[in-house]
Amino acid sequence: MSHSPYDEPVSPQTSMGSTARRIRSGAPNGHKLKSRHVTMITLGGIIGASLFVGSGNVIRSVGPAAVVSYLIGGLLVFLAMRMLGEMAAARPAIGSFMEYAREGLGDWAAYLVGWLYWYFWVGVLAYESVLGGETLHGWFPAIPAWAGSFALLALFVGTNLISVRTFGEVEFWLASIKVISIVVFLVVGVLFALGWWPHADFSVGNLWQHGGFAPHGFGVAFTGVALVIFSYFGTEIAVMAAAESEDPAKGIRQATSTVIWRILLFFVGAVLVITAVIPWDELPVPSDVSQAPYTLAFAKFGLPGADLVMQLIIFTAVLSVLNSGLYSASRMFAALADQGFAPKFVTRRSRGGVPYMALLASTTGGVVATIVNFAAPDSGVFDFIMNSAGLVALFVYVFIALTQMNLRRKMTSEERAGLKLKVWFHPWLNLLLMAGVAFVLVVMLTTPDGRSQVWTSLIATLVLLIFWPLVRRGLKKRKATQRG
């Protein structure tokens, strides 16, 4: 029987298979993630300040129809995760979709998708560190916001440097706090909206009584998808983490099979509760955690000290995303270097399997973006990074769809039947995902804010394409040296 394209490199010239095996075995058994780590990373990995705070911006822009934005974004994420899950369950690999893109589409695709993904996480690190620093400054005015940002980055660089097990343990407890808090929020919020909570009135009418369910039209709900994707992106962390766990196949199946209910519960459900409890047009600009919709909702519930508790929860979410963001960025950067798409020194790993040079280099990117925000807040550079990052997620999902479709095409019927995790209705769901991304892009081009996000994302992609010829020449020299 011939081998599956998931099992071997496309050609003898690529060292893909050996590299993937080397990456997977990088962490000694004693340092690998346990099942409970992967479970909690799967549950809480995507819950961050983008949901707790950023959802307020989406709701203010779209109205109660923000629920539609989260549903559309959730559908795209679910389809992409199912496709990634099929590939990852067949052959777990850190930097997974970048490596699969190389097999399915070629070096150029792996280079582009890998760097775009790393770029996204650099933006996330900057966003979360700035928010965390401003939160610390609000609590302790004597601490400058920039100092708080750098201190938080340094703290989680330290936890990630120790071992992947340390990262997993820290993330387990941080994610546990997030998951428990959202479950409590949903239960109390539903009771409050139905008028079954002390001193509460039936407020479900807020969904349609303030200018309608879609006060700015349903088209705006599609433009909100780019902001929503920014919140969702990070779901694939569980797949990357599972590759460094004691049972990769089980972790990957768990991560990809439960994504749909996690999206419906934590995102769609939470936004529905917020818009039912608080009129959408009364939400302030969430400049800090004290103005976040979750904080305001808990204050309405009348729980003692709820606003401070929610601020602490949101701050925990900031810490969690910083922790997982450093993990994701460093693993992808190391995978890029392993394949020759980044400088060779980035491949260096500690005895515990931690790619420490990739971790430090990724942190430098976040530090630079953070400095720009505090030193030149009116320069537009920080806004450029934030705007372009959301659409980068859509680009990555298209690459995942194309890669999985091409790899499946190369398989025999026997190999397809033996897959442990399959994409349904192949290749129609792939086409649906790509059509959904294209439709969102077209709708975004009809609004000033949407056009800004599209063009900034295209500029970021164009910069990478300009450097591709240089990288390709380096790859040719590397392959020639290996053959020699």
Question: What is the reported pLDDT for 28?
Answer: 54
What is the pLDDT confidence band of residue 18, given thresholds at 50, 70 and 90?
A: very low
Instruction: Round to whole Å and give the CA distance between 470 and 340.
Output: 11
Instruction: Please indicate, yes or no, if residue 293 is contained in any of the structural domains.
Output: yes
Structure confidence by residue, pLDDT tens digits, 305-318: 777 887 788 889 88
Question: What is the reported pLDDT for 386?
Answer: 63
Instruction: Please indicate, yes or no, if residue 476 is contained in any of the structural domains.
Output: no
Does residue 102 surpass a pLDDT of 50?
yes
Question: What is the reported pLDDT for 388?
Answer: 67
Instruction: Please indicate, yes or no, if residue 12 is contained in any of the structural domains.
Output: no
Instruction: Please indicate, yes or no, if residue 123 is contained in any of the structural domains.
Output: yes
Chain centroid offset of residue 328 CA: 9
0.85 cut: is pTM over it?
A: no
Task: Let me know: does 388 contact 459? Beta carbons within 8 Å.
Answer: yes
Query: Between 357 and 459, where is the model more confident?
Result: 357
Instruction: Please indicate, yes or no, if residue 475 is contained in any of the structural domains.
Output: no
The residues near 320 (Cβ < 8 Å, ≥ 6 apart) are 44, 45, 47, 48, 171, 174, 175, 178
Q: What percentage of the chain carries pLDDT values higher than 90? A: 27
Structure confidence by residue, pLDDT tens digits, 118-171: 988 888 888 788 888 888 998 899 999 899 999 999 999 999 999 888 998 998
Query: Between 120 and 92, where is the model more confident?
Result: 120
Q: Tokens 């420490």 map to which residue?
A: 356
Backbone phi and psi for residue 33, each to the nearest 5 degrees, phi listed first: -75, 145
Structure confidence by residue, pLDDT tens digits, 395-405: 888 999 999 99
Question: What is the reported pLDDT for 111?
Answer: 94
Structure confidence by residue, pLDDT tens digits, 395-450: 888 999 999 999 998 888 888 888 888 898 989 999 999 998 888 788 778 777 77
Question: What is the reported pLDDT for 387?
Answer: 67
Structure confidence by residue, pLDDT tens digits, 312-347: 888 898 898 889 889 989 999 999 999 889 988 999
- The closest alpha carbon to 331, from 83, 41, 52, belongs to 41
Q: What is the mean pLDDT of the chain?
A: 82
Instruction: Please indicate, yes or no, if residue 4 is contained in any of the structural domains.
Output: no
What is the pLDDT confidence band of residue 48, given thresholds at 50, 70 and 90?
A: confident
Instruction: Please indicate, yes or no, if residue 481 is contained in any of the structural domains.
Output: no
Structure confidence by residue, pLDDT tens digits, 360-373: 999 987 788 778 87
Does residue 235 surpass a pLDDT of 70?
yes
Question: What is the reported pLDDT for 276?
Answer: 95
Does residue 233 surpass a pLDDT of 70?
yes
Structure confidence by residue, pLDDT tens digits, 195-219: 999 888 999 999 999 999 999 888 8
Instruction: Please indicate, yes or no, if residue 133 is contained in any of the structural domains.
Output: yes
CATH number at residue 266: 1.20.1740.10
Angle at the Cα of 51 from the Cα atoms of 45 and 52, rounded to 5 degrees: 110
Longest dimension (CA), the chain: 79
Does residue 257 surpass a pLDDT of 80?
no
- The closest alpha carbon to 270, from 233, 234, 228, 221, belongs to 228
Domain hosting residue 297, numbered range? 26-469
Question: What is the reported pLDDT for 3?
Answer: 38
Count how many domains the chain has: 1
